[in-house]
Every structure is written in structure tokens, then in C-alpha cells.
Structure 1
Amino acid sequence: MQFLKSFYIHNTFFRYIAVLAACFMLSFWIHALYPIAWVFTWVLIGLFLFDIYLLFTYAKGVDAKRRLPQKLSNSDLNPVSVIFQSFYPFKAYISLIDELPQQFQKRDFEHKTFLLKNEKKEFEYTVRPVDRGEYVFGNLNVYVSSPLKIVKRRFVFQKDQMVPVYPSIIQMQQYDFLAISNNLTLFGLKKIRRIGHTQEFEQIKEYVTGDDLRTVNWKATAKQNQLMVNQYQDEKSQPIYSIIDTGRVMKMPFNGLKLLDYAINSTLAFSNVALKRNDKTGMITFSKNVETFVPAVQKITHLNTILEKLYNVSTAFTDSDYGMLYAHVKRKVTHRSLLLLYTNFEHISALKRQLPFLLAIAKKHVLVVIFFENTELEALIDTHAEDLQTIYHKTIAEKFSLEKRLMQKELQQYGIQTILTKPEQLTINTINKYLEIKARGLL
């Protein structure tokens, strides 16, 4: 039974059969072909049996191993490698089929190569998950054929490997490196010039054009016989909360990823940068109720707590209760904090319904409301209109786009910081706003 499960006919064998059938057909008119066709038939039968002997004589003809990371990173290209080795004494032709998780909906995965005796090769491919959760890789199937290519033998390795998909760890690591190197501008992150200064002294330095004259240190100036100024640094250990709306408005997909997942990836990367810069980070998720509350802590190990909480966040088909959010923030967040609210408003009427609660939160805290541009509408606006229906569609799209900008101005009139961003630029713009608020001493 084991033999039958691993026994397969190679496609080349059917070509041989087609040639023999043609010979027998032609022998009806060319009688000399008839005995030759029978000779070829017996030769093919002999080669068929000999090929079976070559492939099935060795109990372990090949070995293969799939190497998966401990965690896959959502929305990123994750490398998966397969190492395989041949123990056959001849050149073995390999067809590798990896059974990918059903979430990828990919049924045509195949890699073909060949291996010499005792040769080892490594093949690497990438997968891009767009949903968090458990991904199960099925069988790693290796089909081996000899140079005769008449039959194939299947080897099965590593059945049902499960790997969890977490928020974008790769994206977090990119910004982690930049935060350590203090070179965040490489990804378009702006350097914000300080207006005024905070109260944490850093050093005394020589005066350069543009420095605030109010920071001149007259004692040091007298000693050095040149203008010296005090330099201050951003205040540290300030509480910062990422608040994620998990209502139905965050289910909208862009590039295969829901708005919620963009917010989760941004929260993870931003929290890591804030912790590296010695601030406290926390997290709140809410819809009808406050589902998750992680108090702001400064420990770098606190990032693991945030990661685990983000792994289980999901959206619901309900409208979010901003009144419940306000009550929870008032009760639990007692110190003045920076609150980054990830949400989305498609209509200005939806914003006006929640505006009283946003204003109440902004009285005590620095509130940043983050919502999204509809990139598909922007693409529609940029297209050339060729008929009346397209003009109508463009007009409606421009109306929605204008409403987004009006909502941003409405919030800014009340002193609420805002970020209107494309989903793929969310992380960069969020960190930019954080650096701007810290540099201006608004918190």
C-alpha cells in the first residue's frame, strides 16, 4: 500500500505511449513498422520496470526540510526556505510541491530542479499573509524521477506545520533600527525644529545662528569668551496611548489589508520607536465596549505585551461608542497623555456625532485623530473622463475627497491634531506627528 501511495507515472511515459500508438497505426500501411513497434513496446516495458527498481530500491532516496520563521509578519513578504538532498547514485530530477495554508488560496505552487549524488540545495520563496491568525502548512511533497523519466516516486515530509501570523514585525524592526541610529529621515520622517524648549537640560554648546537667545548661558559665555547656550532635550517618560477603533468602519480593505491591520502594524512600529525614545506606551481598543486596555509602561519588554494583545484584535460589525471611550479614558488615564486615535470617518455627519466626545477628551490630553484617505477614490479622480457616467462618478468621488479635507479642518479648528493619510503611509506619518509634538513641547 505504501508503494502504491508513492508511485506515480511521469508525463514523459505518456509521450512514449503516444509514439508507440502512432507506430502501430502507421504499420497498417507500412507493414515493416509492425515488428519494430513491438520491439519498442518490450523495450519500454523493460525500462519501465528498471526505472521502478532505480527509484524504489533506496529506502531514503531524498531528504527535505522546510524552515519557517517562528512568527510570520502580517502584510510583509516572509521568507520560507526548503533544504533538500539526494542520496541516489544518479542525477535525480526533483519536483517540489509545498502545500501552502488555505488562506493564500494558491494551488499551483511547484519548483523543479535536479540533484546530483549527495548534493544538497536550498530553495527560498516568500509568502505575504494579509490576515492575522494561525496558518497551517501541509505536506512538503517531493517527486523524484530518474534520467529515464518514466515513473516518479513521492516523498512526504513535515506534515501540518502551524505558524502564527502576528502584526508586522518586519516593519517594526525596520523602524527599530532607525530609532537606535537616530536616522529616521531615511524613510521620509521629518526633522522638526524646536519651538521654545522643554525643561530637561542636555548640554551647553556654542551659539549658532538660529538658536534662541533666551537660552544664553551668561556664566559659560564669560568663561569661554564667546556666546554659549543651554541645549534642552525632549522630556522623557511621557505616557502615550494608541487607541484603535475596532468598529465596522475599520473593515474597509485596501491592497488586501483591512484598515484595522494598517492601524495594528502602525501601533506596533510606533510603540517600539516611542519606547526606544524613553516614553511610556500603552494601548486601548474599543467598539461598543472597551475591549483591551494596556497601561502605559516604559519597559522595553512591554512591547511583547502589546504584540500579544494586538495579535487577538478583530473588527466587529457595530458602531463604536465614543462615549464609552471618553468615560474609560477619564477613569483610567489620569495623567496628561498623548492619545493617537486610529479611526475612520467617511461622512462629515459621522464626525459631528462624535465631535463632543473628542473635544471632551482633548481638554485634558493631546489628542491626535488619525483617519484615512480613500486611495481608490483618489485614483478615480485622476482618471480622464470620456463619457457622462465617468463624469458623474468623478464628481461624487471629488465630493467624498473634499469631505475628508473638511473633516480635517473641522478638527483643527477645535485644536485637535489630525493625520489624514493613505493607508500605506500610516506608520511614517504617525511617527512624524509624534516627533513634531515632542519637538514642539505640546505634551
Structure 2
Amino acid sequence: MTKPLKNLWGQFLFQGRGILPTYRLLIVYLILSIGLIIGTAWGITWSVVILLNGLILLGSLIDLLFSAKRSQLIIHRTLPEEMERGLSCNVQITITNASGSPIRFRLVDGIPQSFKRPFPLHGLILNDTTSVLQYETKAAVRGKYKVTKLHFRYKSTIGLWEKQTTFEIEDTVKVIPDLTETKQFLESAQQFLLYEGLKIRKQKSGPGEFSKIRNYVVGDDPRKINWRQTAKLREVMSNEYEPEHGKYMTILIDCGRMMGAELSKGNRLEKALEAAITVAAAALKNGDYVSVLAFSKEVKVFVPPAKGMEQLQTILHSIYNIQVDSNESNYAAILHYVQTVQKKRSLFLLFSDVRTFLHEEGALSYLKRLRRRHLFLMIGIEDVTLLTRIKDMPETVQTAMVKSMAQQQMLIKKREKLKWEKQGLQMIEAREEKLAATAVSHYVDIMNRGLL
């Protein structure tokens, strides 16, 4: 295809600037052509043919001349600075028509191909008025995107020609992980965990920070009765304690090859990010220090420990754009690194693939040393395919072979997990939809039991 033909084809695809004939003009010429063919039976001369074509062409050019000019159109786009992956949001486009005639238009916004694209959008703008247009979109891939172009096509007054122009409107949007579970936890931690079939476990009786004085209820430790307030109010009052604040937690997020395995919604890394942000919000709300380290073959992102809900924004803006690498994760190097940057006793919470991690013999020696000072917990996502194959009925020889192989893989995994857990390294797996709730529940349980 030659360059002029490519440019012409690009105009039909909402690219660049240009003037295109509409279906109305083509129909007019089609009717004229049919009339001239019929008129040849009455001996129409060439001068009449040329005159009629010239009149129609002149009329269409006059229609084009009096149509709105590009300088008479003003367009603004209002795009949110942040969008959550997979959630819909509205984009607003304001169009001002400063010409003396109404225009019918079609537009295509230059949002990335990974976004939902409900285009072209149609509309009518009266003369000397401003119209607001909205469309709904959602992003499937996290990252930082620049939206620079908006393609606008509008018809002339009679509608014989269509003008096309491109507006340069630069906006930047960040697509961050889905924060639905984080918001649910911040609204009500207890309801969030109960909804997921879990609950915040009762705190172990022991020392902690004083919280408040309340009425004594059946089951309270008699040693916590506040006798001074009991005598003053003439009813039994009890002291309530909560776990000590200011503990340290380091969240490790694996970005290696196996974290790219697809799930029903997104992949393992997407679910790990959502769960990591939720458990970070839980720790920060509790007054603890939280640091985050994302890695694969080497360290990708490290957020130093800090407390306060401002740290949640720091973590979110640091890890929202991390992607799965094609390399295998180097657990030994990362565990050595994290021990050098985290000297204080801390809870290391690792989001990774359990099956891959179990075969990393080189990481075992580092974890033994890490266990002397820190507490280690690994959380992975259950392999739904493996569990499904185990539950299959062996109706055929092939099904029986697949089932036996799946059972063998499960036995190997359990044996390896038992070996690691004997070293005091706890590993758990959860369904993808309950990963965040499981992580938060185990964090609350560890803090309530005073294991740090």
C-alpha cells in the first residue's frame, strides 16, 4: 500500500486530520448517476451532465465552507489520576461549539488498548453551547499510562462532508491494584474477616498496652478487675488490654515467573499485591511499622519501614507498577539482603508460590538463621487444578493416571512442607478469593498471641 493510500485509510480509522465524504453525498451522486443513465434514452448532452455534476459539487463545497472550523471547537478531558484495576470509572469530555451552526459528531479517545473502549461516541452540539459527554471505562493491566490524543469527527451543516481532527490533550493515569478488600477492612475489620468465614481470635491473656475500662462480663480474667473503679461506681469494672503497638512487619512479594500463573481473575501476582496492601493497612492501622520488598532475581522495590496511614500511600505508589519477570526468583539472595536491611525483630510475610519455594534448598540455611531473630510466615495460593484432579473420579485409565499423578504431587508437597515446618517456618495456602482475609487473620492472630 502506497503512502497516500495509507494516509487515506488512516483517516477512515480516526487517525490524523482530513475531510471525508459522507454516505449522504455518496447517495446523492448515486441517485444522480442513475438519473443520468436513464436520461441517456432522451439524449442528454455532455454539457448537461457536466453542469449537474458541477452544481452538486459546488453545493457540497459551499456546505463544507460554512461548516464549523477546528478553531471554533474547544475540548477538555477529565480523567481520574488513579484507577483501580478491573473497576469501572467515568471519563468526562467537555465540548464547546463556538460556531454558528449545530454539529453532529463522533469521537474516539486515545486511551490505551488494554482499557475498555466504548467507541465511537455519537452526539449533537447546538451552536454556541457547551456539552458534557461521559463514558465508562476500566483497565485490565496495572501501570502508568499517558493519554495524549482525542480524535474528533463532525459533519458539515447539511451533512455532505465530514471533517476529522485530532486534539492533543495530555493526561496521565495510574492503574493501581484493586483496593476493594482493603477498603472493606478499613471500614470494619471484624465484618471483613467474618464475611470471609474467619474471625479475629481472642487475645491471649497476658501483658499488653492498656486500652480502656469497661464493665466486667462473664469469662473475663478476674485478675484484670479494676478495684478502684469498682468501688467508685459500685459495679464490677475490668481493664481491657490490647497487643503492644510499634511492632515491625516486612512484606515480601515474589515477582518471579511462577507468579504469572493465571487465575480466574488476574494472576497470582495481582492477588498477592491486593492481599499485601490489605495486610499492610491492617498493620498500619494497628500502629505497627511496615516495610515492603518486591523481588524476583534481584530486588525490584524496597520501601523502608514506617508507621502511620501515610505509609500505605507510599507503599501503594511504590509497588503499583511491578510486573511478573520471566526469571526464576532468587530466594537465597533476597533473604540474605532482607536480613541486612531489617535488624529489629520482625514478622516476615512472604507472598509466593509454595510449591516452587519448597524446592529451594539454598534458601533453607538462610531461613534457619533468619528464624533465630525473626518470625517467618509464607502464604501462597492453592493450586485449584491439582485439587480438582485429585477429586476426579477414575472412570477411565487416563483419568486414573492423571489422578494418581496429582495425588503423588500433593504427597510430595506435604512431605516437603513438613520438613520446613519442623524448622519453625510456617507455610499456608489459601484460595485466591480468601488470600487477603487469610493473611490478615494470621497477622491478627500472631499479634494477639504476642509472638513478636
TM-score using structure 1 length:
0.79
Name the structure 1 match of 2:199.
191
Q: How does 1:39-188 map to 2 (within 5 A)?
A: 44-56=56-68, 58=69, 60-102=71-113, 104=114, 109-117=119-127, 118-132=129-143, 134-146=144-156, 148-159=158-169, 161=170, 163=172, 165=174, 167-168=176-177, 171=179, 175-176=182-183, 178-179=185-186, 181-183=187-189, 185-186=191-192, 188=195
Matched residue of 1:153: which SS? strand
Query: Which of 270, 282, 286 is the aligned partner of 2:291?
Result: 282
Give me the whole-angstrom Cα distance separating, in 2, the residues matched to 1:219 and 1:18.
101
1:17 equivalenced with 2:29 (yes/no):
yes
| Distance 1:186-1:193 versus aligned 2 partners, 3 A rule | closer
Give me the whole-angstrom Cα distance separating, in 1, the residues matched to 2:104 and 2:412.
61
Give me the whole-angstrom Cα distance separating, in 2, the residues matched to 1:114 and 1:327.
64
Q: Matched residue pairs, number? A: 432
| Distance 1:192-1:12 versus aligned 2 partners, 3 A rule | same
Q: Does the 8 A contact of 1:79 with 1:124 survive in 2?
A: yes
- 1:343 CA drift (Å): 0.9
| Distance 1:107-1:243 versus aligned 2 partners, 3 A rule | closer
Name the structure 1 match of 2:450.
441
Q: Does the 8 A contact of 2:421 with 2:427 survive in 1?
A: yes
Give me the whole-angstrom Cα distance separating, in 1, the residues matched to 2:41 and 2:139.
59
1:247 equivalenced with 2:256 (yes/no):
yes
Q: Does the 8 A contact of 2:117 with 2:137 survive in 1?
A: no
**Amino acid of the residue matched to residue 70 of structure 1?**
E
**Amino acid of the residue matched to residue 100 of structure 2?**
P
Q: How does 1:335-374 map to 2 (within 5 A)?
A: 335-346=344-355, 350=359, 354-374=363-383
Q: Does the 8 A contact of 2:82 with 2:175 survive in 1?
A: yes
- 1:223 CA drift (Å): 4.6
Query: Which of 307, 310, 315 is the aligned partner of 1:301?
Result: 310
CA RMSD for the aligned pairs? 4.1
State which drifts further: 394-403 or 119-128. Answer: 394-403
| Distance 1:361-1:28 versus aligned 2 partners, 3 A rule | farther
TM-score using structure 2 length:
0.78
Give me the whole-angstrom Cα distance separating, in 2, the residues matched to 1:383 and 1:93.
59
| Distance 1:387-1:97 versus aligned 2 partners, 3 A rule | farther
What whole-Å deviation, never above 9, does each CA across 1:64-114 have from its counterpart, x for those lacking one? 112223344445444432222323433321101112225x28788311122
Q: Does the 8 A contact of 1:167 with 1:265 survive in 2?
A: no
Give me the whole-angstrom Cα distance separating, in 2, the residues matched to 1:15 and 1:384.
65
Q: Does the 8 A contact of 1:65 with 1:82 survive in 2?
A: yes
1:328 equivalenced with 2:337 (yes/no):
yes
- 1:312 CA drift (Å): 5.8
**Amino acid of the residue matched to residue 131 of structure 2?**
K
**Amino acid of the residue matched to residue 122 of structure 1?**
L
What whole-Å deviation, never above 9, does each CA across 1:179-207 have from its counterpart, x for those lacking one? 2x445524736431314234111122212
